[in-house]
A and B are shown apart, each in its own frame.
Chain A
Amino acid sequence: MNSGKGCNGKGYNGQYLIVDLAQKESHILKLEDSFYRQFGGGAGAAIKLLLDGMDPAADPLGPDNMLVFSCGLLTGTGSPCSPRYVICAKSPLTGGMAKSEAGGWWGPALKSAGFDGIVVKGRAEHPVYLWIKDGRAEIRDAGHLWGRVTGEVQQILPGELGDPRARILQIGPAGENLVRYACICNELSHFNGRGGLGAVMGAKNLKAVAVSGARQVEVFDREKVREAARWAAREFKNHPLSWGLHRTGTAIGMEAFNAAGSLPTNNWHLAAFEQANDIGSEKLEEEVVVSKGGCHGCPIRCKRIVEGKAAGLETDRIYGGPEYESLAALGSNCGIGSLHLLVKANELCNKYTLDTISTGMTISFAMDCFERGIINEADTGGLCLNFGNEDVILPLIEQIAFRRGFGGILAEGSATAASVFGGGAEECLLEVKGQELPLHDPRTKTGVGLQYAVSPFGADHWFAQHDTLFTKADAPGFIGAAPLGMAEPVPATDLSLKKVRLIYYTSLLTSIYDCLGICVFGAVSRGLLPLPLIIDIVNGATGWNTNLWELMKVGERAVNMARVFNRRAGLTRRDDRLPSRFFTPLKGGPLDGTSALVPAEFEKALDLYYQMSGCDLNSGAPSDAKLSELDLGWLTEKNNAGE
């Protein structure tokens, strides 16, 4: 590994805070420059620390699970579009590795406070929160915060700490109540949404982590980093994808997917929704958007802040606004076409820290079961769960968050609920490894289907990039990815080796972003930062002399370590599958009757993916040769022992 000009210690702090909640103590783990060059930071660092520190067979809601908060290498350095940190732990939803990223300001604040991340071990006897300021950490009692919704805690803590600059990460009641898809939020409107990490935090009796730092993160070449930030601030207006995100946010997906005939509707039975335009970006803008929101160091500002004023459905702008995924999961996929109801539903999820994707998808699953007669009103506590019934959405969210009545079953996730319901309920499931699907149809983007299946983190729509970015030779996504070596465009519905290669390469690219703290919306292929500039920024921040090859290996290491973790947790290739629904044609919309995936073709693509990535065809785990190639030989012997 190239050691550059020997400017170690720039761009990162070289230390993680280790907190043992059971022992009520903390200490600092010092890390060398070689650690950051090998694992990057972010996801790579987090997964490495988990493999070092815990048994993957541990109960995800027990004291032996570890929770790692990990800033990207570039987070907090002033680099553009790089606000992110990841949280990793064993997932209570999938039983494998959970990894979820969030932007906002919390990650940069943690870096300014002197730490690149936090490793939380054990379980506190009573509710606590962490207060980290300028290199010091304190475990504080959180008895007065437990049971409160996120908005209340956000209001209380900075005052209690006497620090209005304190950035607050926390769980709401859903995390406390161990809902298996509870999420974690920071500053009320940025979410580590997936994998049930909020439940892991709740199981540790950890209510919040407040951070504050006055120190500027040291970088090797400040001017180079600043120049990149100035370039991004100028150029995002000229980049069609970044400008589109700025202008409309992600909610445009509602209108666009509906027009294209790929909008999940009524638990994916239909691909178009009559009321899509009533709950899309234009109506959102017209009726409830009050401003745009964004993240540290990012000029795009893709978020929408909303304020609902419909009688009985009033919402507070402090909770941000719904993204496409939330509108589709709770809206079209449940047959709900009332924008104001969805805005309220989104606010409730944010108050309670429920992942909106899994919440909506679990409700739509239950609706499907109800419509088929698998469950009835006696099971649901009197709720009529027909698609489109607006009266049940808010009560169900409440029931799930507080595990009341029927919501107690749904709080376990749709896969577990299906086994409780029986009667063929599994046919209504749309999940991979127990994690409910994001709202992108694999029949119109086959590579998204492939990434749903092979992601070690359960169904994940940003394990790799999306097919539609690479369908035309003049598309910015395709041009931007040229340094990866993709020679020609690939149709969105292609499932040949070209598509498998595209997904394989871009899964490594996306993994790099998760290690560096770069948002997928800010960089190639979905955003404006080109790969050569990203490499320049890394070198400017760290003083390294790195290149795309070395960074690709960083990304590859993270993915393969997650696969080893999953293998040790008991997951196999059998868990890398797609729901049967996608092997039937689309219904409704302009692609009606078409686009069914072919099982044999999909299996062939899976085989090819494993072969390309150096994984065993039967287990889906990385081969010893691949681990050795990645300098992960320390995993080889244990990996074999897990066979």
Chain B
Amino acid sequence: MGKKFMVKFYSYLREKYSSHSGGEEVIIIDNDGDYTIEDLKKQYDFIPGEIGCVILNKQMAEDDAIIQDGNLVEIFPFFGGG
């Protein structure tokens, strides 16, 4: 069965990690096992410190959060004060 979900990148992450101008990528995972935010981060090979918050279906998501079929993952760049 696998799973299919959408990843939406914000700001300058869009130009770096998305092939679409809107920054939205559809991800298809072929196996049925758990697929977490950490797995997604590894897949994209982000530079450490580059990512700020990750939102999974409008809720804050930690690295161990499991992504389900049909979910929306929103990824924001780090912002640390200014």
Residues of A within 8 A of B (CB): 240-241, 243-245, 247-248, 250, 252-253, 255-257, 259-261, 281-282, 302, 323-325, 440, 448, 461-462, 465-466, 468-469, 472, 474-477, 520-521, 525-526, 590-591
Instruction: Report Cα–Cα, A442/B12, bound state, in Å.
Output: 27
Chain B contacts with A in 13-47, Cβ cutoff 8 A:
47
Contact surface of B with A, Cβ cutoff 8 Å: 10-12, 47-50, 52-53, 55, 58-60, 74, 76-82
Q: Is the CB of A244 within 8 A of B12?
A: yes
Q: Is the CB of A240 within 8 A of B78?
A: yes
Given the complex of chains A and B, what is the CA–CA distance between A466 and B80 in angstroms?
A: 6
Q: A240-B78, A255-B76, A260-B60 are in contact. Are A477 and B49 (CB under 8 A)?
A: yes
Say whether B49 contacts A259, CB under 8 Å: no
Chain B min CB distance to A350 (Å): 17
Q: Which of A244, A261, A282, A466 contacts B81 (CB 8 A)?
A: A466
Task: Give bound CA distance, A257 to B76, whole Å.
Answer: 10
Q: Other than A261-B60, A282-B11, A461-B81, give 12 A-B pairs with Cβ distance below 8 A.
A: A240-B48, A240-B78, A244-B12, A247-B11, A247-B12, A252-B10, A256-B52, A259-B55, A325-B82, A462-B81, A472-B48, A521-B82
B11-A281 in contact (CB<8A): yes
Nearest 3 CB-CB pairs, A to B?
A250-B82, A474-B48, A247-B12
Chain B residues near A261 (CB, 8 Å)?
60
Q: List the A side residues contacting B79 at CB < 8 Å.
A: 244, 250, 252-253, 256-257, 324
Pick the contact of A256: B47, B48, B60, B76 (CB < 8 A): B76
24 CB-based A-B contacts, threshold 8 Å: A240-B47, A240-B50, A241-B80, A244-B78, A247-B11, A248-B11, A248-B12, A253-B79, A255-B11, A255-B76, A256-B52, A256-B77, A256-B78, A282-B11, A325-B82, A461-B81, A465-B81, A466-B81, A475-B49, A476-B48, A476-B49, A590-B58, A590-B59, A590-B60
| Contacts A255-B11, A476-B48, A590-B60 given; does A244 touch B74 at CB 8 Å | no
A255 to B78, CA, bound (A): 11
Minimum C-beta distance from A164 to chain B (A):
32
Partner of B76, one of A245, A259, A526: A259
Q: Given the complex, which residues of B lie within 8 Å of A325, measured CB to CB?
A: 82
* Residue in A259, A282, A477 whose beta carbon sits within 8 Å of that of B74 in the complex: A259
Please, how many angstroms separate the alpha-carbon atoms of A256 and B60 in the complex?
12
Among B11, B58, B80, the most chain A Cβ lie within 10 Å of the Cβ of B80
Chain A minimum-CB-distance residue to B54: A259
Query: Could you tell me the distance between the alpha carbons of A248 and B16 in the complex, rounded to whole angstroms?
Result: 13
B26 to chain A, nearest CB (A): 20
Instruction: Report chain B residues within 8 Å CB of A255.
Output: 10-11, 76
Distance in angstroms from A220 CB to nearest chain B CB is: 33
Q: Are A591 and B60 in contact (CB under 8 A)?
A: yes
**B5 vs chain A, min Cβ distance (A):** 17
Contacts of B74 in A (CB 8 A): 259
B11–A252 touching, CB < 8 Å: yes
Residues in chain B near residue A256, CB distance under 8 A: 10, 52-53, 76-79
Q: In the assembled complex, how far is the CB of residue A300 from the closest CB belonging to chain B, in whole angstroms?
A: 11
Does B82 lie within 8 Å of A245, measured CB to CB?
Answer: yes
Contacting residues, chain A, for B53 (C-beta < 8 A)? 256, 259-260
Contacts of A461 in B (CB 8 A): 81
* B50, B77, B82: most-surrounded residue (chain A CB, <10 A): B82
Contacts of A324 on B, CB cut-off 8 Å? 79, 82
Write the nearest CB–CB distance from B54 to chain A, whole angstroms: 9
- Chain A residues with CB under 8 A of B58: 590
B36 → chain A closest CB, angstroms: 16
B82 to chain A, nearest CB (A): 4
Chain A nearest CB from B2 CB (Å) reads 27
A190 CB, nearest partner CB in chain B, Å: 14
Contacts of B55 in A (CB 8 A): 259-260, 590
Q: Please, which residues of chain B bring their CB within 8 A of the CB of A448? A: 81
Closest residue of chain A to B59, judged by CB? A590
A329 to B74, CA, bound (A): 25
Q: Which residues of B contact A474 (CB under 8 A)?
A: 48-49
A6→B74 CA distance, assembly (Å)? 56
Residues of chain B contacted by A252 (CB below 8 angstroms): 10-11, 76-77, 79
Q: Which residues of B contact A241 (CB under 8 A)?
A: 49, 78, 80
Closest to A440 in B: B81
A253 touches B82 (CB 8 A): yes
In the bound complex, what is the Cα–Cα distance between A259 and B51 (angstroms)? Answer: 13
A269 to B13, CA, bound (A): 31
Residue of A nearest to B77 (CB): A244
Closest to B74 in A: A259
A462 proximity list for chain B (CB < 8 A): 81
Chain B contacts of A282 at CB under 8 A?
10-11
CB distance from B45 to the nearest CB of A (A): 13
A281 to B10 CA separation, bound complex (whole angstroms): 10
A240→B55 CA distance, assembly (Å): 20
Task: Decide if B78 touches A468 in the complex (CB within 8 Å).
Answer: yes
- Chain A residues with CB below 8 A from B82, complex form: 245, 250, 253, 302, 323-325, 521, 526
Bound complex: CA A323 to CA B79 (Å): 13
CB B66 to nearest CB in A, in angstroms, measures 17
Contact residues in B for A253 (Cβ distance below 8 Å): 79, 82
Q: How many Å lie between the Cα of A175 and that of B60 in the bound state? A: 43
* Complex alpha-carbon distance, A472 and B50, angstroms: 12
State the Cβ distance, A191 to closest chain B Cβ, in Å: 13
* Contact call B11/A526, Cβ cutoff below 8 A: no
A472 to B: closest C-beta gap in Å: 7
Q: How far is the CB of A488 from chain B (nearest CB, A)?
A: 16
Contact of B77 among A248, A465, A472 (CB under 8 A): A248
Q: Give the CA-CA distance A384 to B21 in the complex, in Å.
A: 41
Measured in the bound complex, the distance between the Cα atoms of B51 and A282 in whole Å is: 17
- A209: shortest Cβ distance to chain B, in Å? 26
Chain A hits for B77, CB < 8 A:
240, 244, 248, 252, 256
Give complex CA distance A302, B79 in Å.
Answer: 13
